[in-house]
């Protein structure tokens, strides 16, 4: 909620175009999407927490000194989600916020380990997210899918538990499409998670680890080689390795770029130093995402406005970015065609107005 991160330089007309543009969101965290209203409601329910109940105080609370501080604060919000009803409410409200931004399809990263280890029954957890997913599709028309991620710093116990929850046929939710790895990267080498990714991939899930957000390009190579990554979460440091950029472009491995997140966690110093342009110029498929939007004082529309400025795009260029996300998603071919056609119809209508 660092309000200064909202980019005031985006032209008003382009902002209006982005606001109505049908979009797909591929990198957004479940708990990290809790709006100030939801966070303060949960904090009021659980007064033993250190999370402020006043939405204005959350602005300061969500101001991070570095990535480790961000994770510390993130986990204090995780601690507010204590019952299946909390899970359902959060999931449905996140879908409402996505629908307001014309998000037609979202892959939401969920960390089931963090909830089950805090005592939420695993069956009730799965039922809560699935119930919210179905209600969101019926009420808002937004299609939600899940990525279950391992919180890497919590170790191999968390990896085992996440893999079990993602691959057990009796538990695995219908909306689950992919398997990820999140949390800090420093001191958490990717290769150790290979056996867990192997099992998830064998069970039909796509591999989408975070890599190169807070460590160098070798972490991205490791994610590709050991975890068979099909997309990379962030991949920011890939810009330091021209061979890696060429590999990502040649093999059409998309990057899930989240510009404001990288500034808020201090992974990148300023927006103007963000390597997004280097990615695009190297031919890498760039997708635009919001990561933990209320915590970073942003939303997906703002991320598109930021990207448009950094990449010097007009409406057609922004529409192409939106189509990149649809193309890089795990939707079926018919679903991809439907949203891409909607993007084209909207863009033509806007330019002809």
Cα first-last separation, the chain: 35
Closest by alpha carbon to 275, among 212, 207, 230, 322? 212
Min separation Cβ 121 and ligand LNDFFVEH, Å: 16
- Residues 76-115 binding ligand LNDFFVEH (CB under 6 A) are 78, 109, 111, 114
Beta strands, E only, the chain: 23-29, 103-110, 143-151, 176-182, 206-207, 210-211, 232-234, 255-257, 286-288
DSSP-derived 3-state class of residue 330: coil
213 included as an active-site residue: yes
Give the binding-site size for ligand LNDFFVEH (rule: CB under 6 A): 21
The reply on whether position 183 binds ligand LNDFFVEH by CB under 6 A is yes
The reply on whether position 291 binds Zn ion by CB under 5 A is yes
The reply on whether position 107 binds Zn ion by CB under 5 A is no
At 345, list the tokens.
Answer: 């119809």
Instruction: Yes or no: say if 98 and 106 are a contact pair by the CB < 8 Å rule.
Output: yes
Min separation Cβ 208 and ligand LNDFFVEH, Å: 11
The reply on whether position 97 binds Zn ion by CB under 5 A is no
Q: Which of ligand LNDFFVEH, Zn ion, none sits in contact with 25, Cβ below 5 to 8 A by type?
A: none
Burial (CB count within 10 angstroms: exposed 0-12, middle 13-18, buried 19+), residue 332? exposed
Angstrom distance (rounded) from CA 68 to CA 72: 6
The reply on whether position 71 binds ligand LNDFFVEH by CB under 6 A is yes
Nearer to Zn ion, 7 or 291 (CB): 291
Q: Which of Zn ion, ligand LNDFFVEH, none sits in contact with 114, Cβ below 5 to 8 A by type?
A: ligand LNDFFVEH
DSSP state, 12? H
Angstrom distance (rounded) from CA 275 to CA 257: 10
Q: Which of 23, 29, 206, 231 binds ligand LNDFFVEH (CB under 6 A)?
A: 29
Min separation Cβ 26 and ligand LNDFFVEH, Å: 13
DSSP-derived 3-state class of residue 257: strand
Three-state SS sequence of 64-117: CCCHHHHHHHHHHHHCCCCCHHHHHHHHHHHHHHHHHCCEEEEEEEECHHHHHC
Min separation Cβ 320 and ligand LNDFFVEH, Å: 25
Spot the catalytic one: 213, 230, 256, 303. 213
Q: Which of 61, 64, 74, 296 binds ligand LNDFFVEH (CB under 6 A)?
A: 74
Binding positions for ligand LNDFFVEH, rule: CB under 6 A: 29, 32, 71, 74-75, 78, 109, 111, 114, 117, 149, 151, 153-154, 182-183, 210, 213, 261, 291-292
Cite the active site residues: 213
Binding positions for Zn ion, rule: CB under 5 A: 291
């Amino acid at each position: 909620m660092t309000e200064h991160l909202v980019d005031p330089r985006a032209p008003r007309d382009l902002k209006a175009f982005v606001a109505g543009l049908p979009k797909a969101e591929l990198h957004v965290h479940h708990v990290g999407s809790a709006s100030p209203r939801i966070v303060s409601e949960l904090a009021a329910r659980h007064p033993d927490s250190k999370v402020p109940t006043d939405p204005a105080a959350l602005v300061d609370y969500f101001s991070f000194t570095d990535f480790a501080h961000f994770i510390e604060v993130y986990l204090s919000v995780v601690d507010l989600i204590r019952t299946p009803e909390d899970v359902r409410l959060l999931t449905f409200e996140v879908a409402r916020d996505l629908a307001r931004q014309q998000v037609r399809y979202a892959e939401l990263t969920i960390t089931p380990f963090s909830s089950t280890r805090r005592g939420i029954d695993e069956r009730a957890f799965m039922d809560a997210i699935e119930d919210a997913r179905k209600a969101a599709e019926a009420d808002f028309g937004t299609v939600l899918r899940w990525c279950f991620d391992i919180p890497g710093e919590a170790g191999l116990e968390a990896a085992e538990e996440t893999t079990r929850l993602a691959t057990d046929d009796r538990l695995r939710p219908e909306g689950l499409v992919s398997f990820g790895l999140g949390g800090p990267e420093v001191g958490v080498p990717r290769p150790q998670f290979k056996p867990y990714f192997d099992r998830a991939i064998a069970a039909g899930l796509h591999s989408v680890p975070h890599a190169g957000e807070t460590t160098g390009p070798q972490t991205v190579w490791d994610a590709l080689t050991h975890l068979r990554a099909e997309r990379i979460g962030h991949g920011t440091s890939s810009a330091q390795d021209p061979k890696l950029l060429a590999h990502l472009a040649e093999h059409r491995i998309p990057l899930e770029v989240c510009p404001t997140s990288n500034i808020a966690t201090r992974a990148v110093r300023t927006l103007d130093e963000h390597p997004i342009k280097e990615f695009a110029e190297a031919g890498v498929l760039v997708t635009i995402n919001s990561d933990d939007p209320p915590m970073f004082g942003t939303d997906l529309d703002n991320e598109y406005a930021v990207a448009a400025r950094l990449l010097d795009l007009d409406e057609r260029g922004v529409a192409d970015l939106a189509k990149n996300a649809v193309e890089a998603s795990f939707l079926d071919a018919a679903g991809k065609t439907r949203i891409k056609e909607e993007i084209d119809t909207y863009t033509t209508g806007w330019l002809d107005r």
